[in-house]
Amino acid sequence: MKLSVIIPCYNVAGRLPTLVRSLHGNLRGDFEFVFVEDGSTDRTAAVLDKLTVDLPGARVLRHEANRGLSAARNTGLARAGGTYLAWLDADDWIGPGYLDQLVRVIERLGCEFVRTDHVRVTGRRRTVVRSPETRRNLVIPPRSAIAPPFRSTSVDYPMAWAGVHHRKLAERGLLTFDENLRTCADRHWVWRLHRAAESFATVGLLGVFHRHGEPDSLSQLDDDRHLHFLDAMALVLAETRADPEADLLLPKAVDATCALINFHVTKRAQLSLDLQQRLVERSIETLDAMPQDVLEHVLSQGSPRRRSLLTRMRRNPAALATVA
């Protein structure tokens, strides 16, 4: 088997027909599509069974109860047989011939993984989103694409579905997702991948059409899962501090964490009052646990607006704890 495409499915009955139609435009005899039905509460299971009957290479795996995106991806990964591995989200779709192009690119370059651009779909609007890595069609060390802080780099583009990966990465344990993270697992995943893999390339291949800002997306949650970005970045910070090149990489990890905290705290009015308070409290705990010399450097050199918000939050958390 040349390529396995792993597709977690949870409560996507209305979106599956679009995805499966796009897969029919990407068939090859050595491609397989590994669907993981993750205990949906709508008609996803029935729709999936109906749509995959006539889809060559399709297999459907099932979770009896919902276990989350990370667990569904891991289930598919464990059963995938391809030399190359890719993920798709079930509410997205891909252009005709995209998967064939993806395999041809990674085979030509001979690297361990490839990152691609994608098309963001917001209602009827289509926007091309580029990977921040500007060195295109070159095989480079993944570590070289982590730093520096204060600008977007490859680890700030964490979408697992934006690329393809050689299975030897899975054999080294680098493609699994932390199942304790119901959101933002991709961020921990991409940092580990860039620290531990040996080679990658970024290419200007467009083919994934990603639905953005949907009301039922994980980014719209108003419960504890919304705070899992802090858990994900705590793992990134801990693993980066233990890295032999911590002096080089840690400022970027701290900067990335501060940027996420700033983003979520700025938008906290969308959350319940209780969740707003916990967001601020846990964000302060995360900031306090950082190496303070690195944090002070990052805050002093970064955005003045972000520095002002995070400094005020640490000095007077009650003032930012809730926004009615």
Which residues in the chain show pLDDT less than 50? 217-219
Confirm if 139 and 203 have CB atoms less than 8 A apart: no
Q: Can you give the pLDDT at residue 222?
A: 65
**Residue 48 to residue 35: CA distance in whole angstroms:** 8
Residue 28, both tokens = 């090859």
Domain 3-218, CATH 3.30.70.100 — does that match? no
How many C-beta atoms lie closer than 10 Å to residue 316's C-beta? 10
Q: What is the pTM of this model?
A: 0.94
Q: Can you give the pLDDT at residue 289?
A: 96
Q: Can you give the pLDDT at residue 147?
A: 95
Provide the residue ranges of all domains of the chain, joining segments of one domain with +.
3-218, 221-320
Q: Can you give the pLDDT at residue 318?
A: 81
Tens of pLDDT, residue by residue over 60-114, are 999 999 999 999 999 999 999 999 999 999 999 999 999 999 999 999 999 999 9
Q: Can you give the pLDDT at residue 27?
A: 98
Confirm if 147 and 251 have CB atoms less than 8 A apart: yes
Nearest to 2 by CA among 36, 37, 32: 32
Q: Can you give the pLDDT at residue 151?
A: 94
- CA 86-20-68 angle, to 5 degrees, is 55
**Residue 30 to residue 4: CA distance in whole angstroms:** 9
